[in-house]
Amino acid sequence: MVLTFSGTVLFYIVTVIQFWISNYLKDVLHIEDKEIFISFVITCVTSPTLGIIIGGWIVQKAGG
């Protein structure tokens, strides 16, 4: 139950950030659409890659 709930909360937070961050950057911080798109693409490409690399390094250091 705890793992299911944790996964649900994680996906909810990720979805909210993905959905609302563009509007926030545009309306509140007044950043241009082009810059928002480029930042989003860079984040989407590098985050999973860095997560795998850094996560693997942490697991190896922890003895896994």
Q: What is the pLDDT of residues 1-59, one digit of tens each?
A: 888 998 899 888 888 887 888 889 999 999 999 999 998 889 888 988 998 999 999 99
Task: Give the burial class of 41: count Cβ atoms within 10 A of its Cβ; 0-12 exposed, 13-18 middle, 19 or more buried.
Answer: exposed
Whole-structure pTM value:
0.59
pLDDT value of residue 31: 94
Amino acid at site 9: V
- DSSP, res 64: -
For the chain, the distance separating the N- and C-terminal CA atoms, rounded to the nearest angstrom, is 25
